[in-house]
Structure 1
Amino acid sequence: MTAPYDEWFGPDAFDATYGYDRKALEEVGAPPEPAGFAEFWTTLYGRARAVDPAPVTRQVPGRPGLHDVEFTSLDGVRLGGWLVLPPDGVAERALVVGHGYGGRDEPDLELVPPGTAALFAAARGLPQRGLVPGIPAVAAEHVLHGIDAVDTYVHGGCAADVWCAASALLALLPQPPDRLVFVGGSFGGGIGALALPWDDRFDAGALHVPSFGNHDLRLTMPCTGSGEAVRRYVAERPEAREVLRFFDAATAAGRLRIPMVVAPALWDPAVPPPGQFAVHNAIPGPKELVVFSAGHADYPDEAADTERYLDAIRRLLDA
């Protein structure tokens, strides 16, 4: 590695730039859509929009404006999360917030500016509020659940969870917000890229170190994240590669027309940076690039990078 990464992470850490400098990262492309791509996703979206989310909330004791929430997603899956409401209950803007592959224990309130409602929704199978019998909660197993067929792969259900979370949030607000925005990182960023092109209720989105971008490249790159389980699985069962073509975040990003903020990292051992940049590069619509020095790691410049990302999200909400 080269400075500053050898100073930050030690000379013995593997090169999580994967040999790509920024110029090379900004040139990474996306795989083409497989036949039937749009039909699959529009059909799945139609099924999810037909779901009555039946949201139920409960005030969190001692925390004004914060509520536990439960709602129904596709196939009758009941999911949980947290609802944040402005003190007067009137939200000018609304956020659906995803999470990483480790799940979520608490809402990240720094993402929610004044006058904004937010639903921090769990994805099916993931801790703690999305646990579902039959779906593994461990990332390396969850990422393989149903991978042998397009119609059963768990990431389709996770995208539907985003759409149903939006339905639940909108149902809980006394009046429609002026703006609905999705924010997600890592696993949540990749799922967001898959979900957003099909749902015209969303006005904008922000994706931090998004996963699942350009599986053609990801499958050649050992990593410490969920992609390693997929890489090993496909090496033994190459037919699964055809399923993954329908769940490539960079391929889906090619259909994004709403304003987007994408925050990929230059160094990341969990989600290889070329896949992250592939998501950004594929977006044909308006977009802002906020580059992090590293992802899935603590480093000296992290606070400054995070503040730039939060500023970009605030601009999305205020646009």
Structure 2
Amino acid sequence: MSPLPDPVPPLPDPVPPLSPRPVPSAPQFPHPYPFDPAYGYSLADLLRVPAPVAPGDFDGFWEGRYREARAVDTAPVVGEPEGEWDGARVFAVAYGSVGGERIGGWLVLPAEGVPVEHGFVVGHGYGGRGEPGRDLPLPLPGAAALLPCVRGLGTRSTRPAIPGDADGHVLHGIASRERYVIGGCVADLWCAASALLDLVPALDRPGGPRIGYLGESFGGGLGALALPWDDRFAAAQLTVPTFGNHPLRLTLTCTGSGESVRRHHRTHPEVVDVLRYFDAATAATRLRTPTLVAPALFDPAVPPPGQFAVYNALAGPRELRVLTAGHFEHDGTEDEYRELVAARRDFFARHLG
């Protein structure tokens, strides 16, 4: 894959935001935090947050990581059925990834007798993944999916050498761009796609596979980093994505993994040289895959300016679904989630159907 020019200007929005309801203004919820989870930004402010300029070898770095992942023989192994969720059959699965890692997770298949028509890789948040129920049902009927627990996280990919908590995990190997755990987690998503296509060959159609990606929070940031280099993905949906605009994130107090990085930076300022390669907003300037982003106006765990930086930077067709709050329960949480599920279903029907 040839490098894209630096920087890549975003294309105009092909459609207006999906929601018929008015876009919410920055809310002020009663909260226990010693800081403002809206960070003083209005929606207009958030829609102007830029992406940092990429290092000169940004494309080469990620293209090399992608080639390494595609060369892995994932050798997926499927376990016994673990039950059914929302009409889908769920199986334990393990597959190979870079560095000789075996990644655990779940394979989701349609009900017996229903042909596979769509495929998804589904990332998870920094809380890990203990079971697949929260990520089901999948956006489209007749869908198969691989739900990995990326290295060091979840119930199926814990490692003695990798901290299993978000604060420790996000710092693991951060002194080196080659050893930073986030790069390995991105590779785990690429290898998940390879394993899914090995297990469900019906997805590899003439002209190549067209699978979707879903990712929330940590999984949203990983998706933004992974998707620009992998043309097997034809559409993506990112909810409250993390890792956007690290230079700005380092100035913003939060309750999520970004706070661990911010504190580490105080005594290790040189870490900015590594973080430049793992900026989801910078990667989004290379992302031409149609992408629906659901950033929040108020979020104590993932500062909204970083979330919107990912959306603002997208180089391909993009759609926006503004949430009132992320990582924070409020009276409208369930209604907004139902609306997002419906918007997601419509989005993937148009781009994968």
TM-score (norm 2): 0.86
Query: Which structure has the higher relative contact order (CA within 8 Å, separation 6+)?
Result: 2
User: Would the aligned equivalents of 2:121 and 2:213 in 1 still touch at CA under 8 Å?
Assistant: yes
Q: Answer yes or no: is 1:310 the counterpart of 2:341.
A: yes
Residue 174 of structure 1: CA displacement?
3.5
Residue 57 of structure 1: CA displacement?
0.9
More off after superposition, 119-128 vs 298-307:
298-307
User: Would the aligned equivalents of 1:92 and 1:179 in 2 still touch at CA under 8 Å?
Assistant: no
Q: Which residue number corresponds to residue 5 of structure 1?
A: 28
| Aligned CA distance change for structure 1 residues 216 and 296 (closer, same or farther; 3 Å) | same
- Provide structure 1 residue ranges, at least 5 long, that are not aligned to the other structure: none
| Aligned CA distance change for structure 1 residues 4 and 238 (closer, same or farther; 3 Å) | closer
Q: Which residue number corresponds to residue 142 of structure 1?
A: 169
Q: Which residue number corresponds to residue 90 of structure 1?
A: 115
Q: Which of residues 104, 108, 126 is equivalent to 1:80?
A: 104
Residues of 2 paired with 1:163 and 1:11: CA distance? Answer: 39
Residues of 2 paired with 1:25 and 1:3: CA distance? Answer: 10
More off after superposition, 45-54 vs 88-97:
88-97
Aligned residue for 2:173, secondary structure, equals: coil
| Aligned CA distance change for structure 1 residues 50 and 12 (closer, same or farther; 3 Å) | closer
User: Would the aligned equivalents of 1:67 and 1:82 in 2 still touch at CA under 8 Å?
Assistant: yes
Q: Give the CA RMSD over aligned residues.
A: 1.7
Q: Which of residues 79, 104, 108 is equivalent to 1:58?
A: 79
Residues of 1 paired with 2:32 and 2:89: CA distance? Answer: 46
| Aligned CA distance change for structure 1 residues 22 and 76 (closer, same or farther; 3 Å) | same
Q: Which residue number corresponds to residue 17 of structure 2?
A: none
Aligned pair count?
316
More off after superposition, 87-96 vs 211-220:
87-96
Q: Which residue number corresponds to residue 201 of structure 2?
A: 174
Identity over aligned residues, as a percent?
A: 54
User: Would the aligned equivalents of 2:254 and 2:301 in 1 still touch at CA under 8 Å?
Assistant: yes
User: Would the aligned equivalents of 1:111 and 1:310 in 2 still touch at CA under 8 Å?
Assistant: no
Which amino acid counterpart does residue 116 of structure 2 have in structure 1? A
| Aligned CA distance change for structure 1 residues 53 and 316 (closer, same or farther; 3 Å) | farther
Q: Which residue number corresponds to residue 32 of structure 1?
A: 53
Which amino acid counterpart does residue 68 of structure 1 have in structure 2? A
User: Would the aligned equivalents of 1:182 and 1:206 in 2 still touch at CA under 8 Å?
Assistant: yes
Residue 263 of structure 1: CA displacement?
0.5
Residues of 2 paired with 1:103 and 1:117: CA distance? Answer: 21
Q: Which residue number corresponds to residue 102 of structure 1?
A: 127
TM-score (norm 1): 0.95
Aligned residue for 1:311, secondary structure, equals: helix
User: Would the aligned equivalents of 1:93 and 1:317 in 2 still touch at CA under 8 Å?
Assistant: no
Aligned residue for 2:342, secondary structure, equals: helix
Residues of 2 paired with 1:255 and 1:10: CA distance? Answer: 37
Residues of 2 paired with 1:112 and 1:286: CA distance? Answer: 19
Q: Answer yes or no: is 1:160 the counterpart of 2:187.
A: yes
Residue 313 of structure 1: CA displacement?
2.1
Which amino acid counterpart does residue 103 of structure 1 have in structure 2? G
| Aligned CA distance change for structure 1 residues 55 and 89 (closer, same or farther; 3 Å) | farther
Q: Answer yes or no: is 1:19 the counterpart of 2:57.
A: no
Residues of 2 paired with 1:186 and 1:154: CA distance? Answer: 16
Q: Which residue number corresponds to residue 275 of structure 2?
A: 244
Residues of 1 paired with 2:169 and 2:33: CA distance? Answer: 30
Residue 11 of structure 1: CA displacement?
7.6
Q: Which structure 2 residues correspond to residues 295-306 of structure 1 after superposition, within 5 A? A: 295-306=326-337
| Aligned CA distance change for structure 1 residues 83 and 25 (closer, same or farther; 3 Å) | same
| Aligned CA distance change for structure 1 residues 14 and 34 (closer, same or farther; 3 Å) | same
After superposition, the C-alpha distances for 1:124-176 in whole angstroms (9 at most, x for unaligned) are 11121121231111110110011111111111101000100000011111312
